[in-house]
Amino acid sequence: MFFTRKAAEMPTADTALKGRPQAIPTADTHFISGRPLKGPVPEGYATAQFAMGCFWGVERMFWSLPGVWVTAVGYVAGITPNPTYEEVCSGRTGHTEAVLVVYDPAVTTYEALLKVFWEGHDPTQGMRQGNDVGTQYRSGIYTSGEAQAKAAAASRDMFQQALAGRGYGAITSEIAPAGEFYFAEDYHQQYLAKNPGGYCGVGGTGVSCPIGTGVGA
């Protein structure tokens, strides 16, 4: 992606950009499925939010999974309201690039999504992912409710053991309650479907995440 060499320190409320009161324009529907990005969502469906590097490649990992109804990319866990891509890439909003996943719990599980999260990137790299450096590339799981929080923490602990056995260091991924999901601009949505030869700098460690944390969500 662009603007890859940015500050690796989080801004404060005083130093963050001010943003804007209104949402930035984005797509109405998913480029592949045609389903609405912002709902309505079928009754009984659940949502998950993951940050694991450049959101172009991350979204592609999730949109074709069984039980996933729709995906979207956006900005989470920051300070600046309704940020633009350029503002997020400046390192002065505090956001990280993330993917929103809406899924049918009757078809897939939160645990299955967590497995894709852990195996799809290197969660030990702090404020970067591969050659992409900056606060907007930090890894995180942003949970909805106690069940997701418990499942995320349990999966992290199990994957940490698996990583340690292969010589990797401590997991740096943050696990926090989901806040506002700011949808990214239209051209970022399903970017690699619109641009099949586009950049994707996300890659895993090759370490398998143990299945069966024992906690559902």
User: Which residues contact residue 121 at a Cβ distance below 8 angstroms, ignoring those fewer than 6 apart?
Assistant: 52, 53, 58, 129, 139, 202, 203, 204
C-alpha 177: how far from chain center: 13
Helix, strand or coil, per DSSP, at residue 25: coil
Helix, strand or coil, per DSSP, at residue 178: coil
Half-sphere exposure in the Cβ direction for 63 (13 Å, CA): 23
**Distance (Å) of CA 173 to CA 19, 83, 153:** 26, 22, 10
Distance CA 162, CA 18 (A): 41
Q: Over the range 168-190, which residues count as b (16 or more CB within 10 Å of their CB) and which as e?
A: beebebebeebeebbbbeeebbb
Q: Please give the positions annotated as active site.
A: 54
Q: 132: which 2 tokens?
A: 């992409």
Q: 51: which 2 tokens?
A: 């940050």
* Terminal Cα-to-Cα distance of the chain (whole angstroms): 33
